[in-house]
Amino acid sequence: MTIKQESVSLEDAQRVIAAGQAKAAEIGSPSNVAVVDAGGNLVSHIRMDHAWVGSIDISINKAFTARAFDIATKDLAENAQPGAQFYGIQNSNHGRVMIFAGGIPLRQDGQVVGAVGVSGGTGEQDQTVAEAAAAAF
């Protein structure tokens, strides 16, 4: 018997990204914003004008990480420090695991159906943008 899985649509992803973009503009932090689906695969991405090129990959992989482990990357970060229970997790999954703030799972009725990832500013800025983006879902 198959598993039923809801997953974000492109329309969902674009609404989430637009909300992130608006917040990023508001706080003056040009950002990359990405959304992945329930399978961890990219649905949509934007890089705002003048946002870092190196953050393309990071935004996509923050979203991947948040879905891969159903956890905000900010929270995973605490468990990935030296001496903590998941120290070294950042070396798994071919370098796709991001362990700093900016990735947040998207939930519907308690189930994770995708995730958003933001990169372009400080950890605090990325987190602020990601929270605004996730709130639009």
Q: List contacts with its own copies (CB under 8 A).
A: 1-14, 37-50, 52-58, 61, 64-65, 67-70, 77, 80-83, 85-95, 97-101, 108, 113, 122-124
How far apart are CB 103 and its own copies at their closest, in Å?
Answer: 11
Structural tokens at position 55: 């953050």
How far apart are CB 18 and its own copies at their closest, in Å?
Answer: 10
Cα distance between residue 40 and residue 60, in whole Å: 10
How far apart are CB 71 and its own copies at their closest, in Å?
Answer: 9
Cα distance between residue 46 and residue 44, in whole Å: 7
Q: Which is nearer to its own copies, 1 or 28 (CB)?
A: 1
Q: Which is nearer to its own copies, 17 or 132 (CB)?
A: 17
First CA to last CA across the chain, in angstroms?
29
Structural tokens at position 121: 């500013």
Query: Which residue in the block uniquely carries the two structure tokens 């001496």?
Result: 83
Four-residue CA torsion sign, 50, 54, 56, 60: negative
How far apart are CB 59 and its own copies at their closest, in Å?
Answer: 10
Query: Which residue in the block uniquely carries the two structure tokens 């990832």?
Result: 117
